[in-house]
Amino acid sequence: MDPEQFVVPPGVAIAPEDDPYGPYVALSRKQWADLADTVPWTLDSDTLARLRGLGDPTDHAEVLEVYHPLTQLLNLYWERTNALFSSSHDFLGLRDKQVPFVIGVAGSVAVGKSTTARLLQELLARGPRRPKVELITTDGFLYPNHLLEAMGIAHRKGFPESYDRAALLQFVIDVKSGKSDVTAPVYSHLIYDIVPDQHIVIGEPDILIVEGLNVLQPARRRSDGTTALAVSDFFDFTVYVDARTSFIRQWYIDRFFALRATAFRDPKSFFRRYAEMSEAEALSTAGTFWDTINGPNLELNIRPTRGRATAILRKGENHAVNWVRIRKV
């Protein structure tokens, strides 16, 4: 069966042997929501509006039924990871401080992974232990535009090779090892480039969320046959936000049109010229961007990593999560 055509009927859990994604337990949205306790963490409307991406319809029901149980599961993983760290260090006679729990969030452009990452950050920070939760996006580790142009890959921005993967890897290693005040570059969607001489500082979080297109990529094989490290090697839990390609393509086009009426109209916007296009020209341009850049990147690099995730959130055409898969082995 083609996984892209695979649809779980409402309320039906699929047996592992019928699962095209691997060793997961499949739960409908209702089954998943029923796993959570009866005292959910709530978000007020202003907070939810702040966390949602442009055009993302995530509502209070989705927070309650999808993200509340996911946050509870993440807290279980965090507690058990901390306990294992303490026990193993006691056994080895080490006295190192607890290291951050690292969560990776992956998925296509326009699928809603940024909203997922921000919601998890907000909900985890409201947990019983009030942990310090930091969020970093991999956009800051894109090569600057002038380097992409010099490398001849400006048209492949967002593909794995367009990122400074060594710098991203070192950043995650530094945070994971407990180093204080780790810096990361700043990316501006307004100018569509790295902002010179600006950095954000991540200071010893309890939990770090790393959100990006390619964060689940496996390690690359070196020319001598040995295997390098990958960012995903340092994740304790991973989430993949999924949907049919046809749905994501339409969401991408819808977002492009929404941006034409808002951010693209800023005189400083890299995309200012697209605000002046006719609707027909804009539709053609957005479709071309998807068909030549974002779509191929999804099929070649992003979706193949889906089976490496701990949790898969599958969305329907209305952008709502319909079912959840959780890795059980």
For 260, the domain range is 16-327
| pLDDT score at 41 | 66
Q: How confident is the model at residue 129 (pLDDT cuts 50, 70, 90)?
A: confident
For residue 252, the tally of other CB atoms under 10 A from its CB is 20
User: Is residue 130 included in any domain, yes or no?
Assistant: yes
Point out which residues pair with 321 in neighbouring strands.
Answer: 315
Please check the confidence at residue 329 and state whether its pLDDT lies above 80: no
Residues 261-320: pLDDT tens digits? 899 999 999 999 999 999 999 999 999 999 999 999 999 999 999 999 999 999 999 999
Q: How many domains does the chain have?
A: 1
User: Is residue 173 included in any domain, yes or no?
Assistant: yes
Question: For the residues 153-162, what does the mean pLDDT come to?
Answer: 96
Residues 183-238: pLDDT tens digits? 999 999 999 999 999 999 999 999 999 999 999 999 888 878 788 899 999 999 99
Point out which residues pair with 202 in neighbouring strands.
Answer: 182
DSSP collapsed to 3 states, 133-160 = EEEEEHHHHECCHHHHHHHCCHHHECEH
User: Is residue 11 included in any domain, yes or no?
Assistant: no
The residue written with tokens 């850049």 in the block is 293
Say whether 279 sits in a helix, a strand or coil.
helix
Q: Which residues contact 92 (CB under 8 A, 6 or more apart)?
A: none
Q: Helix (H) and strand (E) counts for the chain?
A: 11, 9
| pLDDT score at 118 | 97
Please check the confidence at residue 17 and state whether its pLDDT lies above 70: no
Assign residue 181 a region: left if phi > 0, alpha if psi is -120 to 50, beta otherwise?
left
- Among 129, 139, 117, which Cα is nearest to 191's? 139
CB 142 within 8 A of CB 214: no
User: Is residue 301 included in any domain, yes or no?
Assistant: yes
Q: What is the CATH number of the domain that holds 115?
A: 3.40.50.300
User: Is residue 4 included in any domain, yes or no?
Assistant: no
| pLDDT score at 97 | 83
Residues 19-77: pLDDT tens digits? 555 588 999 999 999 998 876 667 889 999 999 988 888 999 999 999 999 999 999 99
Give the Cα separation of 110 and 213 in Å (integer).
Answer: 10
The mean of the pLDDT values for the chain is 90
CB 105 within 8 A of CB 236: no
| pLDDT score at 20 | 54
User: Is residue 235 included in any domain, yes or no?
Assistant: yes
| pLDDT score at 40 | 62
User: Is residue 10 included in any domain, yes or no?
Assistant: no
User: Is residue 5 included in any domain, yes or no?
Assistant: no
